[in-house]
A and B are shown apart, each in its own frame.
Chain A
Amino acid sequence: MAREIGESGEAKSAKVKKHKRRKSKKEGKTRTVHANILYDHTKGLDNPNRHYANNKIKTTKYTLLSFLPKNLFEQFHRFANVYFVFIALLNFVPVVNAFQPELAIAPVIFILSVTAIKDLWEDYRRHRSDKEINHMDCLVYSRNEKKYLEKYWKEVRVGDFIRLRCNEILPADVLLLSSSDPDRLCHIETATLDGETNLKQRQVVRSFIDLDCEFDPLKYNSVIECEKPNNDLNRFRGYIIHCSGRRDGLYKDNLLLRGCTIRNTEEAVGIIIYAGHETKAMLNNNGPRYKRSKLERQMNVDVFWCVIILLVMCLFSAIGHGLWMFQYGDKRPVFDVLSPEGTDLSPVVSAIYLFLTMIIVFQILIPISLFVSIEIVKICQVYFIHQDAELYDEETDSHLQCRALNITEDLGQMQYIFSDKTGTLTENKMVFRRCTVAGVEYSHDANARRLAMYQEMDSEEEDCTSHGGTLPRRDSVASHQSGKVVLRSMSTKSHRRTGSRAEAKRASILSKHTAFSSPMEKDITPDPQLMDKVNECSSQMEFMRFHSQSIKQIPPDLCDIFDFFIALTICNTVVVSSPNQPRQKVRRYELKSPVKTIEDFIKRFTPSRLTSGSNSSSSSSLATNRSSHRVGSSMLSSAESTLTKLNEEKPPDHDLQHAFSPVPPNYDKTKALAKDECELRYEAESPDEAALVYAARAYKCSLVGRLPDQVTVELPHLGRLTFELLHTLGFDSTRKRMSVVVKHPLTDQITVYTKGADSVIMDLIRPVTDNVKGKRQRKILYKTQNYLNLYAADGLRTLCIAKKVLSKEEYASWLQHHLEAETAIQKREELLFESALRLETNLHLLGATGIEDRLQDGVPETIASLRKAGLQIWVLTGDKQETAINIAYACKLLDPEEEIITLNADSQEACAVLLENSLHYIQTKFLCNPPPDPQAAKHYSSFHFSSPVCSLASSAHTSPFLVHRLGLVIDGRTLAYALDKSLEDKFLAVARSCRSVLCCRSTPLQKSMVVKLVRNKLKVMTLAIGDGANDVSMIQVADVGVGISGQEGMQAVMASDFALPRFRYLQKLLLVHGHWCYSRLANMILYFFYKNAMFVALIFWYQFYCGFSGSAMVDQWYLIFFNLMFSAFPQLITGTLDKDVSADTLQELPQLYMNGQNSEEYKPYMFWMNMIDACYQSLICFFIPYFAYVDSDVDLFTWGTPITTLALFTILIHLGIETKTWTWINWVSIGFSISLFFTVALCYNASCPTCFSPSNAYWTMQRLLGDPMFYLLCVVTPMAALLPRYFYRACQGSLFPNPVQVGRQLDKLPADMRRLLLSQSRMKLGSLGSLFTPRALFFPLCSPFQKDYRPRMKPAHVSGNKQKEKAIASPIPSKTVEMWDTPLSSKTSGNHVILNIKTQDIAETCRPGSDCPLSGNLDCAMEASYTKDPPTSRTVLEATLSPVDLCQVRLLTSTPLLCQTESIQLVLPPSSCLLEQKVEDEDSSNQSPLLPKGGGDTQHNQEHSVKTTFL
């Protein structure tokens, strides 16, 4: 079915291609669009647009006429169908036919028609929804009426002028020509296309911007030349050629895409460029992918074996027949009938004919119904997964979504999970936590406490806050949505191919409406200290402005604070709106667009205008707002008496308490406060931005308005300031930063504010000079870096804020290049990128922020249980190493007891060395030496179900990988080296022996490369889960892609096979549904093979008694319908409903998941076991009736019918043995099967005495039912046939139960008993099995083990661990001081191996290109330290490390991050920057070297220590 849908997608694209081809002759490389109204009178005959597709969409595949041929043609694309039709047709050849030809067609017809009906129905639905969409209304300009008239969407054509109202959905791709917005903007919501709920701005075509009056279509006479239709949503280029000959460029910012919704814009007019199937939205529509599951692949192998068995059987029969004929020689026996022509057939020819006949007779060995049954079962499975109430998210009202319908069973076989971090493990709801400005940290303790309260209250208050809190907003939404519009959006519900899930979801989102804002991120309790400084600063500024003093007299730190908040407020793309009016509109006196030309620049920056323009606007707003604002600002800012002089009014005590109460203020109050502030809503492109803007607002620096060319900021004391926005250099993942260029209203300087990842910003900071200022700068830099590391260690996302003041000359010269870049048509993006790079240099660091991304609910538990389930979890994130590691600890991905191998390399060689050493280390530690603690060894091996510890090397592929308690952390750069062809094997060898792998700073491409590498090299099943566009490639590469339908848009969901509302649902999806789907399907497939083989073998045995003539004792009806009807239902029911273990037990005992991972249910040998069983059973079912009737007067079908009957019984009872849960449905289905058989048999045998040649089983069944022999046979044969299997199952259940059976036994226990067992986890279920089987089948419930001897193993660390846990739970910095002393004690325990390779040594010895003598050196150091002898390792370390490094070593272990008892750090800093660093190190601090690059990533530890001293 998925295939069909996929095909439909293909068909559609093919259609489009056809269209394109036809058009390409006329169109050439571009599309030229004229206005239709010019050609209205000619009825379109010479309308140049007439060749373009109209807006009528037709996604149906068939018409009434074309349905039958086309559908058949499509169905015959499936090989199985062709095979069956071939066999059916073979029956029409008289010499080979086995059945009545008409009858033989029946099943094929049946299958084909079922599929055809399904297709027809689906097509009808498509047709209906098309119709609905085609008949939606829009306003199109009519020349005759001289106004806009309502027209159906389908009547809209390319070149029409269309008027769009607020909240309308775009019918086609429209070039925006006019907008009611004063800034000539149009806001659209693209949720249906990409799922992003934030509003995007689109701009009127440049040449129409200047129109002051309303756009008049009659005056339009330009020609548009643009690209041919393509599916790139983010690209549109073209020209508009006016009659004057002037050309203007068109960009994607001018194009409104079909399916988007107009928001915040009352009216817009545009001309249609692409319509119908040529719109970008339609071209982007691809059906779900068709994936083949592992089980299906395995099945196909066995189907192939079936073909071979079939051919062997046919060949055997053919040869047998030839010999049988041959033995009679010329004496033709009377029963050997001549061919119809009366000619004698030679044995050879006869054998050849017989071969074909036998293929027909044995055709059901390749079961016609298997494929259909599998599809049906999978669909039912999808249905049940879909219906699972536990996978339903109340909050977003969304289900789990199965987008790929045919890989459900893969969910039960996953071995590796690749997860994104942000948005997947975490909420992606950013909360501002801390910041540092000018080297001073503001810890926001109150805020932290408030957040903690939030977290606690989350569970209870969820409903309250999400529903109650949003009520006013919902009202407001409703208020500016007319009733008609609401209807409109309802009527688009079936616009399904443009991500209608998103559309459906929009209702809920609309109710919240504000993208990326939770109550948490809005309410920020300001840090009092910082608040004071802000107040002080702004009041001073006001004072100075008032006295016309230079702003430069303000102390630099205050200045920095001011700039810091300005940057937070304006350096973003946040759109402001308030509920009362769509957007704040200020008609400006003159048009001020971003600087577009040099002349413009010169004109605008003449001094006279400079002062008048901006000052007037800012002061005017200042005047109007000051009074209203004073109250609010004073309320919060006047806590400190030092400030009172600046305030005229005393704040009431009541408010003051609330403002600074350490506990979170009562919600109602804050809400009320927020409401007083007019409840500005911020719509941000990313949650970080929103968090920062809200944070700034908490400090009274609120963003109140944003227009394309200016940003208005409200500041305490200063009132509204309007910044002239000259450029916005948007964020991109390569630069990892964004900048705005503004003209500062107070200083009139051109200022660049940059915000970005600390790693990049720190590199762009202006080099410090040697004067006093420089020293201060260096200090600030250094401190900031420390804090950044500290933030990262706390798991915060860090951003650096920097600014740069440009002189006019600098700006002018930059501008020139930039404008060139902007106007370039070719390589515009690249040029703009370079231009941005040029600008963002020599920055002045303002500060840094730490934003928390909270873990989603249940993530640690989910990860823990997935891990228990034997899944390897790798986290691939773009985040910083420290942040990632901390999140990893927080979500229990890394265990404090684990050793962590950190790979940071700067070059290919270094990376190779690191990998080599890590591998060596792992081998030394885990493979050749038995682990120090024998119990631990047992523990390790038992935990992973594996045989002795040292077997990894030999049994790498056969046995489950041996996974040590090791964590691997690798950063993006090193990953790039490691993924190189030459190193990937080593990398994998290291990575696969680690329990968890963390790839930080990885790009989307790297993510997918990692997944691909693991999937291809290790031959494992991989699952990728992610939520954002950056995970799409990884999701697509993995065997199963899971998208989180979170906040970051729909791309991931669109690319995924399953979409989950939350990460924690993965647990049930995999452990329960995956397990069930897998075991059900695996069992069903095996059963299918068995069933068909067993039935076919009956006929095969008969060939020995009918001269290999292809005769069958089973009536052709039974033969044909046996699979299709009589035995079909019970297996479908079992395949759909059977539960080997209950959901609860599966979740409580994740170990049961390994059943699927190791393909326990369906191993290759099981196919053969089933075949042998089938063979045995068929022998019994054949020979018991044979001997019972041998040499009797029984006729062919009176003998064959009992055989059929008892085969049916045998098959059903066999299914019964394999069925684990019997619900009434099972009973009904089996009863139904049997009664169906007898009903059909009786009816058939009574219907016609002369038909159904040759069998003509008239009255056979009736007679048999009166024959006691029949009953006797039907009792004894199935018993005899199933005895071995039943006995085997019973023995297996008693002697060597597999974990699943143990789980089932657990199921049987009463609930409280089971809970007791599971909680105590003492039982060693199945431990008996180990006595009998070499493979240890015990049931490792190891956590108690672990607890038992953990103290014995590491007595010294219990306290440390506890502290560590505490530290993770509530990372309050002061706690870390206590951690100070633990490392030393841990060192003496001997378990602690710290390897710090002297960076200088490496740098000197391991220059790129030169052969590395280092490795040996390193090895010896490492080997020495492996020798578990504490003093030795200590001396080695001391010998190789300088005192500074020693200090570093100590520090390494002191942080909460690395206090785990065993830790290896393999750090190779970049060789190139070492010398500089050296110098810098000595300069900045003599405590420890500061390595900002590469190696610096792991250096946060020292910073931590620094911090403690600071505190």
Chain B
Amino acid sequence: MMASSYNAKDEDGIQPGSVGSGGPGAVKNRKPDNTAFKQQRLPAWQPILTAGTVLPAFFTIGLIFIPIGIGLFVTSNNIKEFEIDYTGVDKSSPCFHCSQNYSWNSTSACTCSVPFTLETSFESNVFMYYGLSNFYQNHRRYVKSRDDSQLNGDQSSLLNPSKECEPYRKSDEKTIAPCGAIANSLFNDTLELFHIHPNGNRTAIHLVKTGIAWWTDKHVKFRNPGGNNKNLSVAFQDTSKPVNWRKPVYELDPTDPDNNGFINEDFIVWMRTAALPTFRKLFRIIQKKKDSKTPTLQSGNYTLEVTYNYPVRSFDGRKRMILSTISWMGGKNPFLGIAYMTVGSVCFFLGVVLLIIHHKYGNRNNNADIPN
């Protein structure tokens, strides 16, 4: 389009200053400007990729990456993590009997306790996760099946949520709150942790329910309808609980009004759909006692008390409980360190190869370049 305009301009004889250097005289000279840009002579850096020129880059990358990798690897290794599968696939598993229940609608709560032993003690704050495997929270239709306005406390959306929530939009002529498949499949197992003292006493470990969701989620994205109205049951009147739920949304945490309804953090965490089919979600935090020399979790025997509500066997899912400390780089994952080390070493190796090439052929090339 531009080009045609140039032609046209020239034809017209009206040349904008940028195109022609038409002087003040009546006779316009159509000679193009002799500018570096128009003559394509802009000063330029012209890197030529040869063994010689890229050598330093390879060595530098290698030299930088390997230490970083080692650092990351060490950091990751310092993280303590414990994981236990309580799905109850094996007959021997304590939760086997609970896992036989494939239904969401069983009213009787099934509980099982899973004993485990921590070999080492966990020093700092311990994060307790539940992990699900083979659970495709990233399924396209599943991801869409929510109404953010409703979750944001919008009154009209509360009663008339988005079509995306179908088929979990209405139940018995009543609007489902929260609507959609994600909410409907809320993870509803209850996990409790007990420390078994060597003497046989069980101490319940205090699990903190809050602070597990993103701050912005809790305070911006998710809001209960009715504003500051503390009475959630009023706010949620004319709505019905999601099909799979045992209790309505305003009873998620009756003890803490700041953790109830849509702003229940377990709910919020669940609503943040996982990226991969095997995922963990933060469930509780075991806080390090202040001014205490004792580790958060000392090594020893523990029991995980599970209220087994969430059926996963139908899709070959697995449920796990994970205890983990975290570092500045998140949970335990040696991969990044390994990746850095690998890339660094490969770079270094290639650098050496290039060095050989450079020595063998680079000089000859130069000789060929320059006679005498």
Interface on A for B, CB 8 Å cutoff?
1-2, 5, 94, 98, 118, 121-122, 125, 129, 328, 331-342, 357, 375, 378-380, 382-384, 386-389, 392, 394, 397-399, 401-403, 405, 490, 493-494, 496, 500-501, 503-504, 507, 1076, 1105-1107, 1109-1111, 1113, 1137, 1139, 1143, 1184, 1186-1200, 1217, 1220-1225, 1249-1251, 1253-1254, 1256, 1258-1259, 1263, 1267-1269, 1272-1273, 1276, 1279-1280, 1283, 1286-1287, 1289-1295, 1297, 1301, 1304-1305, 1307-1309, 1313, 1317, 1320, 1322-1325, 1327-1328
Contact = CB atoms under 8 A, between A and B. Distances in A.
Given A397-B30, A1107-B277, A496 B11 contact: yes
Give the 8 A-B residue pairs with the shortest CB-CB distance, closest first. A340-B166, A333-B315, A1199-B275, A1293-B50, A382-B3, A1294-B51, A342-B167, A1111-B140
Report the contact-size class of chain B (Cβ under 8 Å from the partner).
35 or more
Interface string B218-234: 00110000000000000
B139 A1107 contact: yes
Interface stretch (B85-93, B253-261, B298-306, B357-365): B357-365
A425 to B, nearest CB: 25
A70 B152 CA distance: 44
Given A389-B32, A1291-B51, 15 more contacts: A335-B135, A386-B3, A388-B38, A392-B30, A405-B3, A493-B13, A1106-B136, A1111-B139, A1113-B138, A1191-B278, A1193-B279, A1223-B42, A1279-B347, A1286-B54, A1320-B371
A1287 B140 contact: no
Interface string B330-344: 110101100110010
A1249 B11 contact: no
B205 interface: no
Contact of B280 (A387, A1193, A1276, A1323): A1193
Interface in B111-163: 129, 131, 135-149, 151-152, 154, 162-163
B8 interface: yes
A1109 B139 contact: yes
A402 B273 CA distance: 56
B39 A388 contact: yes
Residue from A387, A1190, A1294 having most chain B Cβ neighbours under 10 A: A1294
A384 B39 CA distance: 7
Nearest to B2: A379
B47 A1222 contact: yes
Contact of B49 (A401, A1197, A1283, A1293): A1293
Contact of B1 (A118, A507, A1191): A118
Contact of B148 (A1184, A1221, A1256, A1276): A1256
Given A1198-B275, A1273-B336, A337 B142 contact: yes
B265 to A, nearest CB: 13
A1256 B48 contact: no
A1105 B371 contact: no
B371 A1222 contact: no
Nearest to A1139: B40
A1249 B274 contact: no
Contacts of A1309: 369
A1191 B131 contact: yes
Contact of B3 (A379, A399, A1305): A379
5 contacts: A340-B166, A387-B32, A1188-B336, A1189-B333, A1192-B280
A494 B12 contact: yes
Nearest to B346: A1283
Contacts of A5: 4
Contacts of A1324: 368
B1 A335 contact: no
A1279 B61 contact: yes
B46 A1307 contact: yes
B207 interface: no
Interface string B273-312: 1111111111000000000000000000000000000000
A1189 B339 CA distance: 13
A1137 B164 contact: no
B346 to A, nearest CB: 7
B181 interface: yes
A1105 B276 contact: yes
A823 B64 CA distance: 95
B32 A333 contact: no
Of A94, A399, A1111, which is in contact with the most chain B CB atoms at under 10 Å from its CB?
A1111
B185 to A, nearest CB: 4
B274 A1193 contact: yes
Given A1105-B276, A1188-B335, A1254 B136 contact: no
Of the listed residues B38, B39, B142, B370, the one surrounded by the most CB atoms of chain A closer than 10 A to its CB is: B142
A1276 B136 contact: no
Interface string B177-193: 00001001100000000
Contact of B328 (A98, A378, A1268): A1268
Contacts, number: 354
Contact of B4 (A1, A129, A1193): A1
Contacts of A334: 104, 181, 184-185, 244, 315
B354 interface: yes
B238 interface: no
A380 B40 CA distance: 12
Of A387, A397, A402, A1309, chain B has the most CB atoms within 10 Å of the CB of A387
Contacts of A378: 3
Most chain A Cβ neighbours within 10 Å, of B12, B47, B138, B282: B138
Contacts of B164: 1253-1254
A384 B61 CA distance: 39
Nearest to B186: A334
Nearest to A132: B12
Given A1249-B221, A1323-B368, A384 B40 contact: yes
B71 to A, nearest CB: 10
B210 interface: no
Contacts of A118: 1
A1298 to B, nearest CB: 12
Given A342-B167, A1193-B280, A1272-B72, A392 B44 contact: no
Contact of A1221 (B46, B57, B102, B347): B46
Contacts of A1328: 361, 364-365, 368
B13 A504 contact: yes
A383 B3 contact: yes
Nearest to A1140: B46
Given A504-B13, A1106-B277, A1290 B4 contact: no
B314 interface: yes
B329 A1268 contact: yes
A118 B264 CA distance: 53
Nearest to B366: A1305
Given A1-B3, A1256-B148, A1258-B220, A1191 B280 contact: yes
Contacts of B272: 1195
Contact of B354 (A375, A1107, A1225, A1290): A1290
Nearest to A1110: B140
A1220 B44 CA distance: 9
Interface in B50-80: 50-54, 57-58, 61, 65, 68, 72
B8 A496 contact: yes
A1193 B343 CA distance: 26
Nearest to A406: B3
B198 to A, nearest CB: 32
Nearest to A1316: B371
Given A1107-B139, A1294-B362, A1254 B144 contact: yes
